[in-house]
């Protein structure tokens, strides 16, 4: 596990529990930091856990009542408890299932890194209170994801490399 504070005292903790090789912690921290900055969130702590299908399935079953391994899970935390001065406020946890993300990347014509960045950003938006339950919310969330990806020099996550719409 690594913890990397940003200049604005935000922290992104990466916990690796997957057998799938993934980018260095610094890459995840850069993606998360860019998304947090775009959302104007500072002084927060986010935990990112990289898992395999068994753990993702179990978490999805326990917390959502669904029996499959999803690509990403987000667990927002309440901020109703006091913190010592200067401590980052816990925003929540994100779980990324690397085997599922890897398979989706191939299916959607994306690199593994592009798909990981998109899903990390997607999870962060959920932690910040965004939703895609209804059409206007979905469109707003997709626009934010696309803008943050562009700021990172990454392609539109909703277009395949051939320009066609990619599945979500």
Rounded (10°) CA dihedral 90, 52, 149, 108: -150
Do residues 42 and 9 make contact, with C-beta atoms less than 8 angstroms apart? yes
- Tell me the pLDDT tens digit for each residue of 22-48: 999 999 999 999 999 999 998 899 999
Could you give the percent of the chain with pLDDT greater than 90? 77
pLDDT given for residue 161 in this prediction: 56
Distance of CA 149 to CAs 19, 44, 57, 112, 152, Å? 26, 21, 27, 14, 5
CA distance 3 to 144: 26
DSSP-derived 3-state class of residue 1: coil
Give pLDDT tens digits for 51-89: 999 999 999 999 999 999 999 999 998 766 676 777 788
- Give me the pLDDT at residue 85, please: 75
Let me know if 28 is exposed, middle or buried by CB neighbors in 10 A (0-12, 13-18, 19+): buried
User: What is the band of 6 on the pLDDT scale with cuts at 50, 70, 90?
Assistant: very low
Q: How far is residue 166's CA from residue 22's CA, in Å, rounded to a whole number?
A: 22
Q: Are strands 89-97 and 44-51 parallel, antiparallel or unpaired?
A: parallel
């Amino acid at each position: 596990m690594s913890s990397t504070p940003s200049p604005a005292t935000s922290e992104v903790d990466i916990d690796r529990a997957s057998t799938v090789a993934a980018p260095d912690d610094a890459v995840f921290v850069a993606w998360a930091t860019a998304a947090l900055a775009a959302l104007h969130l500072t002084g927060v702590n986010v935990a990112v856990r990289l898992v395999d299908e068994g753990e993702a399935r179990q978490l999805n079953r326990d917390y959502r009542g669904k029996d499959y391994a999803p690509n990403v899970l987000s667990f927002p935390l309440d901020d109703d408890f006091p913190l010592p001065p200067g401590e980052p406020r816990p925003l929540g946890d994100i779980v990324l299932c690397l085997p599922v993300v890897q398979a989706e990347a191939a299916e959607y014509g994306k690199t593994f890194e592009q798909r990981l960045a998109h899903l990390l950003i997607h999870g962060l938006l959920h932690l910040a209170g965004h939703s895609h339950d209804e059409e206007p919310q979905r469109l707003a969330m997709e626009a934010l994801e696309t803008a943050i990806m562009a700021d990172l020099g990454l392609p539109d996550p909703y277009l395949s490399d051939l320009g066609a719409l990619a599945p979500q």
